[in-house]
Structure 1
Amino acid sequence: MDNNNFVKAYAPATVANVCCGFDVLGFALDAPGDEVWARKTEAPGITISAIHGIAGLSSDAKENVIGVVAQKMLEDLNITHGLELQLHKGMPVGSGLGSSAASSAAAAFAVNALLGSPFTTQELVMYAMEGERKASGSAHADNVAPSLLGGFVLVRDYEPLDVVPLGVPLELYCTILYPQIELKTSLSRSILKQEIPLKKGIRQWGNLAGLMAGLLKKDYNLLSRSLHDEIFEPERSVLIPLFKQVKEAALAAGALGAGISGSGPSIFALSATLEQAQSVKEAMESVYAGSGIETKTYVSQVPDQGVRLVAQSTFQPAVSL
C-alpha cells in the first residue's frame, strides 16, 4: 500500500450544557481542536503510531478513544485490514471543552473518509460516542454531536438517539477562559443533587425553550434572557475559583450570557460581535490577573461546520510516545 495514501481530519472543541441545556445542548467552536491522521495497513488491527502535542495519553488502541472509535467502525463494516492512526492534540485535556470528544469525532471522520464514506456525518455520532464511553464511562453526545455537525445541536433523546442540528441561525462569538486547574468530571457530577424542586425545573425548561426560540427567531435579547442555569451552576460554580467574578465581568463587558463550559473549569461567554467578544476576553482575564492561577483564553466564532478534512501532506513518521 502507498504509505502516503492517508487522510487527516480536524475536529473542534465544544461547549456543552450552555447554561440551561444540561446534557442536552452543545455548540461547536472554530478552535482549539484536535487532528487525527489515518491510513490503511496490510496487517490487521489498529496501531497508534504517534501522539503529538500532549504527554501521558496511552498509545494502546484499546485504551485510547481514537483506537476504540476506529475499531468499532471496522467491526461494523466487517473490514479485515488494519489502520495506523496518529493523534495531534491541539487542546487541553480536562478543560471542559470536549477534549475526548474532539479526538473521537476526528477519528470517526478520518476513518470514514479513508474507507470511502460509508456513513453519514450524523451516523458518525454513534461511533464517536463510543470514544466518550471509554473516556468517561458514559456514551454521551452533547460534545461529539456539535464537534461533528457544527453549530448548535440538541440531543433530544438517547433511546433511540435523536440528535437535532440547529445550525447557527444568528451570528455569535464565544469567549472561553480556561483556568488551568484540575477539575474531574466525576467530582463535578458527584456534587449534583439527584432531585430538583418543581419550581426550579419549570424555570429551567422555560430558559431552555427560550434559548431555542431566541436562536431560531434571531432574537439576541431573548437569547440573553434565557442564558441562565437555575439548577446546576449554583452547585458546580463553587469548584471554580473566581467564577462569580468572571461571569459578572463578562456580563458587564457586554456579553449576552456566560456560564460553565461542560463540567468546567472553563468559563464561556457569548457575544453578538467579534469586537464585543474581544472586550469580554479582556474583562475575564483581568479577574484572574494576580490570582496565581494561570489561564488560557480563546475567542472563536460559533461555526456552521464542525469536523472537516484538512490538507494532506506526507504522513509523519512515528515518534516516541
Structure 2
Amino acid sequence: MKKIKIKVPATVANLVCGFDILGMAVHEPYDEMEISISENPEIIIRHTDHYGLPEEASKNVAGVVLLKIQEELDLKHGFEVIIHKNIKPGSGLGSSAASAAGAAFGANILLGDRLSKEEIVHFAMFGEELASGVRHADNIAPCIYGGIALVKSSDPIDIIPLQSPDLFVAAVHPQVEVKTSDARQILKKSILLKDAVKQWGNIAGLVAGIEKNDHALIGRSLNDVIIEPVRSILIPKFDEIKTKSLQLGALGGGISGSGPSVFMLAEQEETAQHIAKMMKEVYDKIEIDSFVYVSKINLIGIEIINETEGNKPLN
C-alpha cells in the first residue's frame, strides 16, 4: 500500500478529574488525512484548511512524528501528508493529537502494520510535545485505541482501554482560543494533600463507574478540585453552562482538555440535545460564535476510509 486516507476523531481529555491520564474519543468533529510514501526522503506536509498551521515538517505536529518514525526505523523514503482539519487548533478537542496520532497510525499501515499500538502512541507523543511542551497521551490514546483510555504511564507507555459506558456526549466549542501551553502555565505547582485525596477518590470512582457502567457513580465522580477551579476562569460562562447542564439532567462534565470546549455526559440522546441547545444559546446571548456536537462515545478511534469497501476500523 502506497497511500492511505484516514478519518481521525476528536477527543475529550482529562474527563474532569483525570488530568493527563484519562481520555475519550467522540464521533464529531473529525479530521481527514491522506498519507502516502514518497521515493525521496523528504517529509511533505500540506494543509487544505484555513488555520495557517506551519507546513515545515520540523514545525508541524504530523511532520515531527514522521521525522521521528523515519529516524528510529532508519527509513530511506519519505512521506507526503495532506491534512484537512475540522478540529480547530486550540479547541480543547484534541486537534494536535489528531494530527499526531493520524500521522503515526497512517505511516504504520503504509509500513505493513509493523508497529504495536504502544509504539504508535510513542511516536505520536512527539507531536504533542511540539504542541504543548509535554509528551502526554490522554488525547492520543483514545484516538488510537477508541473509546475511553486510561494512561497509567507515559514512560514507559502503559495504556489501559476501559469499557465504554452507554452514554451520550454534548460538547460546545466557543470560538475563543485557549492554548494548551498557556493553560498549563497557570496551574498550581503544588497542591494540598487533602485536595489530592479528594481527587484520587474521584478518579478511582470514575474508573470504577466506567468499568461497571454505573451511571450514578460516574456522575458522583465527575468532580475536579485541582485543575478546573483554575482553568475555568479562561472559559466564558463556564459556571453557567455547567449549572444549567446539571439542571437539564447531565450526569456531569467539565472542561474538555485545556478548553475552551466544555463537555457533558448524559444518559439519553434527547437530554444531550437539550444541553447542546442550551450551550449554544448561552454563547449566542453574549455574541460569541460556537459550535455544538452531540455524539456517542467513539469505540473505533481512527478509521481507514476506503471508498469502495466502506470504513475499516483499527483492529
TM-score range, shorter chain: over 0.9
Amino acid at match of 2:212: K
State TM-score, norm by structure 1.
Answer: 0.92
- Cα distance in 2 for residues equivalent to 1:105 and 1:270: 25
Cα distance per residue 1:158-177 (max 9 Å; x no partner): 33121111141x21111111
Question: Which position in structure 2 is the counterpart of 1:15?
Answer: 12
Amino acid at match of 2:15: V
Counterpart of 2:177 (choices 176, 179, 182) is 182
Cα offset, 1:120, TM superposition: 2.2
- Cα distance in 1 for residues equivalent to 2:185 and 2:44: 35
Q: Is the 8 Å Cα contact of residues 14 and 143 (structure 1) preserved in structure 2?
A: yes
- Cα distance in 1 for residues equivalent to 2:236 and 2:210: 31
Question: Which position in structure 2 is the counterpart of 1:289?
Answer: 284
Cα offset, 1:312, TM superposition: 4.8
1:232-251 matches, cutoff 5 A: 232-251=227-246
Q: Which runs of 5+ in 2 are unaligned?
A: 309-315
Question: Which position in structure 1 is the counterpart of 2:156?
Answer: 160
SS at match of 1:165: strand
Counterpart of 2:119 (choices 115, 118, 123) is 123
- Cα distance in 1 for residues equivalent to 2:268 and 2:109: 35
Q: Is the 8 Å Cα contact of residues 109 and 308 (structure 1) preserved in structure 2?
A: no
1:144 and 2:107 equivalent? no
Question: Which position in structure 1 is the counterpart of 2:28?
Answer: 31
Cα offset, 1:129, TM superposition: 0.4
Question: Which position in structure 2 is the counterpart of 1:255?
Answer: 250
Matched positions, count: 308
The Cα RMSD (Å) is 1.5
Amino acid at match of 2:20: D
- Cα distance in 2 for residues equivalent to 1:122 and 1:29: 21
Cα distance per residue 1:252-282 (max 9 Å; x no partner): 1111102001111111101112222111111
Cα distance per residue 1:132-163 (max 9 Å; x no partner): 11112211111111111111111112331211
Q: Which runs of 5+ in 1 are unaligned?
A: 314-321
Cα offset, 1:310, TM superposition: 0.9
Counterpart of 2:260 (choices 243, 262, 265) is 265
Q: Percent identity?
A: 47
Q: Is the 8 Å Cα contact of residues 87 and 94 (structure 2) preserved in structure 1?
A: no
State TM-score, norm by structure 2.
Answer: 0.94
